[in-house]
Amino acid sequence: MTRLRAGALTYLHTHRHAAAWSLLGPGMFWLTIFFLVPLLIVFAYSFMKRGLYGGIELQFTLESYRRFFDPLYLDIFKRTFVLSVLTTVICLVIGYPMAYVIAGSGKWKDILLFLVILPFWTSLLVRTYAMIFLMRDTGLINTWLMDLGVIPKPITMLYTEPAVVVGLVYGSLPFMILPVYASIEKLDHSLLEAAEVLGARPAVRFLKVTVPLTLPGILAGCLLVFIPALGSFLGPDLLGGAKHMMIGNLVQNQFGAARNWPFGSAVSFMLMGVVLISMLIYMRVQGREALGAMGGP
């Protein structure tokens, strides 16, 4: 009897594994074929010689990585980093209060959240073009301001770095608001009341209780904004023009017009390195938070 039961348990056990694999399988297959393999190809390309008309020649070289440290490209890299950080900070400064209000808005909550994700209903390309019509010299903003007599001649907005940041902030704001909203929504209200009874005024309460407890949402939002911003090319391309290139544009350029696939690959991998480092920082901070919550070091 017991042997029979043991047998049945083993059967169930192995089949539980089978069930897990059948659920994981399709996704893993997909990621292996369409993520891992291309990634390896790109990695390999980055160490090869460029082909004359695009493509590569099978010859090992570190030329692409060496080229990356040319001041011209380092500048692009630096600009990408600065604009991405700026975008993230602005998104946080605008998005956190919004998320805070939405989380406390009661019956309006659903409508406000709907409005936050409404822009996703149209493609970013269309929305970015619409921003050009808004910001160009003969665009809506300049026309209005001149009609109102506020400015005598158009302000140059398009093809500047601020224009790029405005576009990036606009595109990424929902990715900041949603995770921050989720963490504020989860916040136990009695903790805020406890802080208040213990003598914390609103500002102190916010810094000592609300911010630490919503930190996971803040970090997730920052990552979701920062990483795509690093790799963005549509906004910088349309709103920044050639003078304000970001890494995304450089990569696009190398695989396109410049026909230097190895260099494009190397730049992609340098970008991945930055993303990876920021991920590691995130996990370190997150990990410390988790440890702190459990009473660790």
Which parts of this chain interact with another protein (CB under 8 A)?
188, 190-191, 193-201, 204, 208-209, 212-213, 289, 292-296
What the block records as the tokens of 26 is 């399709």
d(CA 147, CA 155): 13
Any bridge partners for residue 49, and if so which?
57
Shortest distance, CB of residue 220 to another protein, whole angstroms? 16
Query: With respect to another protein, which residue has the nearer C-beta, 57 or 193?
Result: 193
Q: How far is the CB of 212 from another protein (least distance, A)?
A: 5
DSSP state of 256: T
Residue number, 126 or 203, with CB nearest to another protein: 203
CB 75 → another protein: shortest distance, Å? 41
Nearer to another protein, 23 or 293 (CB): 293
3-state secondary structure 46-61: CCEEECECECEEEEEC
Query: How many angstroms separate the Cα of 143 from the Cα of each of 128, 130, 146, 239?
Result: 19, 15, 5, 18
Residue by residue, DSSP assigns 211-233 as HHHHHHHHHHHHHHHHHHHHH--
Which parts of 52-92 are beta strand (E)? 56-60
283: Cβ contacts below 8 Å, ≥ 6 apart? none
Count CB neighbours of 115 within 10 A: 12
Cβ atoms 230, 84 nearer than 8 A:
yes
Q: Toward another protein, which CB reaches closer, 220 or 225?
A: 220
Of 184 and 250, nearer to another protein (C-beta) is 184
Residue 188 Cβ vs another protein, minimum distance, rounded to whole Å? 7
For residue 140 the two structure tokens come to 């809506």
Q: Shortest Cβ distance from residue 198 to another protein (Å)?
A: 4
Question: Nearest approach, Cβ of 200 to another protein (angstroms)?
Answer: 5
Nearer to another protein, 38 or 296 (CB): 296
Provide CB contacts within 8 A for 202, sequence distance 6+: none
Least distance in Å: CB of 95 to another protein? 22
Nearest to another protein of 216, 248 (CB atom): 216
Residue with tokens 């490209």, as numbered in its chain: 73
